[in-house]
Chains A and B, each alone.
Chain A
Amino acid sequence: MWPNVREINLTIIGDRACGTTRAYLTYLAAAGFRPRALWLVDFFPAPHVARRVRSIPLVGLSWANRIHRGGRPSGETMTPLMTRLCDELQAAAPQPIDFVGDFDFAHFAGSLRNFVAEDFDDPFLQNEIIGHCDQPFLYTNGGIVPKSLLAHPEVRILHIHPGIVPQMRGSDCLLWSCHRRGRLGASCFYMASGIDEGHLIRRTEFAVPDLSCLRDYLTAEHEDTVYRALSRAFDPHIRAMLFAEVVADAATSDLGAMPAEPQEANDEPAYLWMHPRIRLKVLRDLVAKGQQNPNGKLETIPA
């Protein structure tokens, strides 16, 4: 599909359940890149016995992970409406992606590893990261990355956040950005211990595209489905578009050493998760704003 791809020194820690992994891989491939490694992780709680054997010297972590692998992640419930909205949202995107069906992850990466972890506090995952920190990582999902891991002098983790930092930090920033700035945004930075802090590599804003496929479902009854469809099948495009730009324009082949600046001072607190009643209002505003977009496509706004 994309014959002339160049391998980049990057390991994507991809949450299998998260659409963002598919989006990063697709946009990188379209731009002519593939990551050296993809770690496809199923994040779900470990059984109690696995946690207990972790403390056994030398072999505890690998035994615990082997037991953990015997479990099954719960996965997101895909109703017919959710599936349809995820599909219809692709009309606005430069690279339509199947966020619901099977996805050939191996096709997009130099190497593929499958494993399970509870989250970034899982000592097995932390050990793997520290053991492979000769190249940078790209975060996709999996909860808070502990300060101890971010403080490791050789670990570099890239993150794309769906909002312009430092103003739009925190949760639900796709929607908070629409409310506060009337446009969408994304920022690429090296992760640090504060909420969406860390040295900034690039940020971009996007005009709200035509999302009229959602219009008939902006009701209290369907608001949650609309919100989940946007999170799964629209938000990843914004992140991946920016990341593909960052990689294409990187002045160095070492993605762990790209020029990055501290974020400017900002005393606004981080945004917190949005209550469904507020979400409904903001989702209606988002769709209304997209209808004013003459092009209708998801495109960056020139700086």
Chain B
Amino acid sequence: MAVIDGIAAIHADACEKLHGGFATQDADVFNVANFVQGLVPGRHAFRREVFVGLDRLSRKLEVARKIYAVYRRGDFKPHPTMPPADSATLNALLAGYLEAYRQTENLRYLNTVYKTALVGLIVPADAEIDSRIIPTAEELLWSVAERA
């Protein structure tokens, strides 16, 4: 399987498990589950605002090591009434970072994947990381030919 198909499978499987139920249409909030559904691998190059979203969330994953379901747009602080992001959201997001690396070859994005999956998160502490994510990251990291 080409690496892009592997990323797409991780993303699709995670998105199937996503559930709604949050006040997601509010223009003042950034809903992570909505955001990750737009990170479809291979379809087209991510737009600039997608990379901005990934960059902001990477700080949550790598520095705070906490990721919540919804953030306030103004200060990008967690929305006070919202729960942590669930595993499906997190896996779809990590697939987005794999795809961002595939598109840009910027290791910044793989760094987020490794640190999230291998260092772990404080919130949610019980996230179930898709077992295909690290092997896919390794394939991307060490195989230039696969990215063509």
With A179-B107, A180-B106, A271-B108 known to touch, is A278 a contact of B114 (CB < 8 Å)?
Answer: yes
Q: Which residues of B contact A176 (CB under 8 A)?
A: 108
Distance A179 CA – B55 CA, assembled complex (angstroms): 18
B111 at interface, CB cutoff 8 A: yes
Distance A281 CA – B142 CA, assembled complex (angstroms): 8
A282 at interface, CB cutoff 8 A: yes
Asked if B141 and A277 sit within 8 Å, CB to CB, the answer is yes
Partner of B58, one of A272, A274, A277, A281: A272
Report A280 CB to chain B, min CB distance, Å.
Answer: 9
Q: Which residues of A contact B63 (CB under 8 A)?
A: 272
Distance A29 CA – B138 CA, assembled complex (angstroms): 46
Q: Which residues of A contact B107 (CB under 8 A)?
A: 179, 274, 278, 281-282
Partner of B111, one of A180, A267, A268, A275: A275
Distance A8 CA – B114 CA, assembled complex (angstroms): 46
Residue on A nearest B112 in the bound complex, by CB: A272
Q: Which residues of B contact A143 (CB under 8 A)?
A: none
Asked if B110 and A272 sit within 8 Å, CB to CB, the answer is no
The tally of residues in B whose CB lies under 8 Å from a CB in A reads: 19
| A-B residue pair count with CB separations less than 8 angstroms | 38
Residue on A nearest B113 in the bound complex, by CB: A275
Report B31 CB to chain A, min CB distance, Å.
Answer: 21
Report B75 CB to chain A, min CB distance, Å.
Answer: 16
Q: Which residues of A contact B110 (CB under 8 A)?
A: 278
Q: Which residues of B contact A275 (CB under 8 A)?
A: 111, 114-115, 118-119
Within 8 A of A (CB), among B41-78: 52, 55-56, 58-59, 62-63
Q: Which residues of B contact A269 (CB under 8 A)?
A: 55-56, 58-59
Asked if A278 and B106 sit within 8 Å, CB to CB, the answer is no
6 cross-chain pairs, A with B, having the tightest CB-CB distances, nearest first: A275-B114, A269-B55, A272-B62, A278-B111, A275-B115, A277-B114
5 contacts between A and B (CB under 8 A): A180-B106, A268-B55, A272-B62, A278-B110, A278-B111
CB within 8 Å of A: which residues of B? 52, 55-56, 58-59, 62-63, 106-108, 110-111, 114-115, 118-119, 138, 141-142
